[in-house]
Chain A
Amino acid sequence: MNNYTKNIRKISSNLLEDGRVDLVLGFKRGTLPMASVPGIARTPEEAQGFVWDTNCRLNLANYITDQKEKIGIIAKGCDSRNIVNHIMENKIPRDQVYIIGVPCTGMVDKNRIRALLDDEIKEFKEEGEVILIRGAGQERVLDKEAYLRDNCKICTHRNPVIHDDLVGALVKEQKIEDPFRDVAAIEAMEGEERWNHFEGLLSNCIRCYACRNACPLCYCPACFVDESKPQWIGKGQDPTDIRTFHFLRAYHCAGRCTDCGACEEACPMDIQVRDFTRKLVKDSFEIYGWEPGLTLDRRPPLETFKPEDSDKFIK
C-alpha cells in the first residue's frame, strides 16, 4: 500500500472518529482494472476502503454542491481549485469542508494505456512512477510520466491550493513553456478545417450528458438543455442541437474551468471534450491573467466591473 493511501485512510478515520466530519469523500477501488472511483465513508471502518493511485481521474468537488453535512474531501490540485470555485460561488461554505490535500503527479490516460495491449487489461499495478499492465498473454512496464492525461501533462497546479491537511510532502510544480499549444493549433486552422475539427469531435456524441454531470461547474438545478418550460433546444440527435449543447456548456465554464479533465474521463464515447473549453481557459488567462480557483481573495473577472476598464463596449 502506498503512503498516500495509508495517510488518506488514517486522516479520514481520525476525522470520522473524532466526529469532525459526517462523511469523507474519496476514491475506492472499482470492479475493473484502472477504475478508482468516487466513494464515501461514514465510519472509520469504511475509510479503510479508500485508495489512491494514478486512476483517480474524476473530480470529487462535483459531489459537494449544496450538501448540508460536514464533509471531508480528498483533493488533488484540480479538485482543490474546484473547491475554491465552489466556495466563491456560494455552493458550500469554507468551514463545511475539511480538505485533505493530495500533492499529485498526474493521472494516467486510460485509453492510451488500453490501446497498448491487443486484448483487455486484466491487471494494473503501480509502484511509484512505474506502471505494470498485464493482459491475457502480454505484459508491459510503463513509465507513468509518459502516459499522463493531456491536461495532467500541462498542469501547473499539482499541489492543492487550499487544504486543511496533507497526505504527503508538496511536489515540484511543472514549468510549461507553451501551455496552450493545443489551442494555438486549432486557432491556426482555416475556418472550414476548424469547423470540421469540431464536427468530427461531436460525430459520436450520444447526449448522455456524462461530461456535464461529471463537471463540478455544472451544478445548475435545471440545465438549459433539460428545461422544458420554455424549451431552449431540441432533444434529439440533430447536429445543431448537439453543437448548441456543447458550445453553450463550454461558455458557461468560461473563467471557471480548471481543466481537471473530468468531462473527458466520463465521456463513454471518448470525445475530446476539453477542445471546447481550452480556448476559454486560454482567453481568461491571456485577457485577464486569470486562472480559476487559485484564491479566495479575488473575484473572478467575468463577475467584476471596473470603471477604468479599457474596453469601450462596456462603457
Chain B
Amino acid sequence: MKIIKIDKNDWTRGIDKSRETYQLFGPVTDSGQSIFKQLDKNAYPEMGGTNSVMSPKSVLFPQTEKILAASLDASMENHHIMQRPAADYSRRAVIGIRPYDAKAVRLVKLNFDTADYRDPYWCDAHGATTFVGLAVNQPSAVDFSISMGSGPFGEEGLDVLLVDLEDHYLAKVLTPKGGAYLSDAGFDAAAETDASLTTIETMQLAAEAAITTTVPTDRLQEKALLDLHGAPFWEDLAFTCINCGTCTFVCPTCWCFDIQDETKGKSTSRFRNWDTCMSPLFTLHGSGHNPRGKKTQRVRQRFMHKLKYFLDKYDQGTMCVGCGRCVEKCPVNIDIRSICSTMNAYDPKDVA
C-alpha cells in the first residue's frame, strides 16, 4: 500500500497541474447549493463541505444526455440516420467524491455494464474517470452508510482515498489509475506506510463510531418477494408522499432514464433524461395501461427496487448506500431508514 502525503499548501498547485491532463469534477457551491459539476478553470473542489445536495452520479450519467443525432437535410450525407454524437471522453477525475457515492458508482455499474448489455455512454465515461475520494471525518446525522455496506472510510469504487488531517491529506493509492492522477498532479511525497495506516485507522474508527444509526438489512433476502409486495404498510406510508422526484434525483444509485426525441429545424436529437418512478408517466405503456398507476404502487416500487429486487437479482447488498440525501431532502421526510427496518422485520404471519 502506497501512501502519499499532500501538504495543503501544495493542494491548489497540484489541482492546477492536474488540469493539464484531466477534466476535473468536484463539489462546488452554486446558488447556495453544493453540487458536483465540471470545475471551471479557476474553480477548486470544495473539500470542507458537508454532503453535497446532488450526488456525483451526473458526472457519468448527466440528467440530460444527447445519445443520438441526425440531420434531416436530404442534401446531407447520412441524413435521417441516427448516429452517436462526438463526446469528450478524455481523462477526467472526480475530486472529493465521498466513499458512499463511490460505492454507488459500483452498484450502478452492475446495471450499465452487464454480460448481455453495455451502456456505451456510461461505460465510456466510467472508463475515463479516476475517483479521488475524501473520507468522511464527521458523518452527518443522516449517514447510515455502514449499515449499507459502505462507511465513512469505505474504499470500494475509489482509486484514491484522501484523509483530511487539518494541514495535510494522507492519500491512500488504491489503484494504478489513482497513482497516475497523483503523479500528474505532482503529489509524490511518500508517507511512512505503517504509521500513516495507523493514523488513518484511528480516524476511521472515530468516524465509524460517530454513526449511531443502524438500519437492519439482514432478513431482507429471506423474505418472499410477494409477501413484501403485498404488505399492508405501503398504503399508509404512501399517503403523505407528494410524488415528486426529489428522492430519486438526489439518490446516487437511481439510474432509471427516459428517452425523448427533439426535432428543431433540420436536425433531430435523441436524449435520455433521468426518470423517476414517482412520476405517473413512469412505466405508462403506449396502450394507456400503467402497471403503477397509483401513488402507492409507485412508492412501493422505489423501496422494493432498492431493498429487495436489486438484492435478489445481483446478491450484492441493497441498492442504497446510506448517504441520507433522500432522508434529508424529502419534503415530507419519508425516511428510508424506517422503511427498511419495517421491511426487514415484516412477517405476514403477524398481520393475520
Contacts and interface: CB of A to CB of B under 8 A. Distances in A.
Interface stretch (A29-37, A72-80, A249-257): A29-37
Contacts of B279: 226
A34 to B, nearest CB: 10
Contacts of B249: 206, 208, 268
A265 B330 CA distance: 10
B244 A237 contact: no
Interface in A174-212: 200-201, 203-204, 206-210, 212
Contact of A208 (B33, B239, B240, B245): B245
A203 B30 CA distance: 8
Which of A207, A235, A265, A270 counts the most B-chain CB atoms under 10 A from its CB?
A235
A226 B280 contact: yes
Interface stretch (B119-127, B314-322, B333-341): B333-341
Interface in B57-116: 63-64
Contact of B332 (A37, A120, A122, A235): A37
Contacts of B250: 268
Interface in B19-41: 30-33, 35
Interface residues of B, number: 43
B328 interface: yes
Interface string A223-264: 000101000001111100000000000000000000000000
Nearest to B280: A226
A268 B246 contact: yes
B276 interface: yes
Q: What secondary structure prevails in chain A residues at the interface with B?
A: loop
Interface string B246-289: 10011000000010101000000001010010011100100000
B297 interface: no
A70 to B, nearest CB: 16
A39 to B, nearest CB: 6
Interface string B220-253: 0000000000000000100110111110011000
A203 B271 CA distance: 20
A63 B284 CA distance: 24
B260 A235 contact: yes
A236 B260 contact: yes
B246 A38 contact: no
A264 to B, nearest CB: 10
A158 B138 CA distance: 41
A62 B243 CA distance: 12
Contacts of B338: 31
A204 B244 contact: no
Contacts of A32: 141-142, 327-328, 333
A238 B65 CA distance: 11
A137 to B, nearest CB: 11
B322 to A, nearest CB: 14
Interface string B125-145: 000000000000010111000
A209 B141 contact: no
A58 B260 contact: no
B207 interface: no
Given A204-B33, A236-B273, A268-B250, A31 B333 contact: yes
Nearest to B273: A236
Given A206-B249, A228-B281, A266 B141 contact: no
A24 interface: no
B262 A208 contact: no
Interface of A: 30-32, 35, 37-40, 58, 62-63, 119-120, 122, 200-201, 203-204, 206-210, 212-214, 222, 226, 228, 234-238, 265-266, 268-270
11 contacts: A31-B333, A31-B337, A200-B31, A204-B30, A206-B54, A208-B245, A210-B242, A210-B245, A236-B273, A268-B246, A270-B32
Nearest 6 CB-CB pairs, A to B?
A236-B64, A266-B331, A30-B333, A210-B244, A208-B245, A213-B242
